[in-house]
Structure 1
């Protein structure tokens, strides 16, 4: 038998046969395969739709002369009337100043403390001591704001508070910790006591993801624990720090509404009236409720917060090449 030459003829192109690509699974098949993940996704998605996106429809009352009898759709349009009313009101600069001062004070005082606590706990070798400190610092977070303010009033009351009784017993004068001079300090540092341990959790999680071999290599090179923290731990959690800083900048005009409202009184109103409490008083505590005016105040705060978030994200990207988006 003679062999058959299977080579292509001169000038002919060889046809390459490629196997067909696997088609993308249908949506029904993907849902059936990963239904557990979609079940976990459902609660936050429903929460976002109902409580975050749904209320945006009612935001239009900030541009209307809202009447309860006419409803949202039946109320006449007012344009930018209420935004202009807020910007030109005599309370505008007072509430803006109080909101900014409280937020900046809180940011400067409270932002580094959870980082320091997490770094110190991560360096502790005794697991029993570390767990004890974590339990003590975490516990106040689970106390309700009403109870925390009640504790503050009982401890720091000028007449019957334990702190003032000790000050008077030592020869000093009673201090009004909820007065004009001390309100901001009391608000911020009581917040530090309440949120310090819980805020450190995310940093501890970030520190747990750092490769232990980096510390072992640094030990071999003779690096002290302080140098290891500064050159290994701090750079390792830097992305988390920047992300949280950007998010905090986005809430620059948002203060803890419940706590401020509960700590307010007639004497400290000049330093405790912030945007959230002012909006609440306009809408619900005034003799004539002004729902459109209160909505315009909230819209103004949200727009400014969005601008602060974008600005902080841009600065972080320019300075450290890390950003939220």
Structure 2
């Protein structure tokens, strides 16, 4: 029996590195949804950084190309706005600029009383010991609290995540993140969704996780669309809808999620093999699948091979590409028989 035909979905395969954008465009990337070093939050809704003047913008543009000297000079000259950006740059690192957390944290400390984004970064520095000293949770809590008072909305769930790590304060932490999530913080929505999906700090509830991921994916497809797509693909917590899963994974890939390529590839592979994923054994493939559909699946496995650093993903992609090549050979054989 011939396997179901694969949908010829023309997802974009982004092979080139993402274009370097001005650091000014990263103004809100302070900070951190999980633990170090994955710094990746957007600007608070209650506070947004003022636009930089010409000198700062020029320094930020140079930093985005790998030359932080002008930005550091402005920061060393006492400008709080430059100190905030320099703090982020050196804590995270960017391209040719290596991370130097103690230096970045020092800049954040200088600007913290004037800029809530810098105060938030200072809280992260204290929480994770990025200053070069041991973690200071009490100091971090105080800094988060001050950033919240200054209008930095991200600090509410930032503090919540820190509190969730302690069994004595987990309830308070969850409540803070839910409060931020209900107010529209996309990263907080992601945190709450993940909490319900994993069941680590609250009772596991995939349906509740799906609800929060749905909200988060509208604001942050890079972080939420992959997980929401997995729930749609499995049917966990609601209806199963592989078409919707593929759409969500496509959004995540376009946003820069390198780990989503293997999910798309495996799903499309399953569509042409009667539900099988790559692995030992026989496949329900007897030819008749349009060559273009097989090539779409190959492109996604090739993207996973090139872009996903996980060894197990590379092994599976290599295996799948060999299987797909055998499918193409079988297709050619079937076509020749039909034309005789």
Q: TM (normalized to structure 2)?
A: 0.25
Higher helix fraction: Structure 1 or Structure 2? 1
Greater RCO, CA 8 A, separation 6+:
1
State the structure with more CA Rg: 1
Q: TM (normalized to structure 1)?
A: 0.26
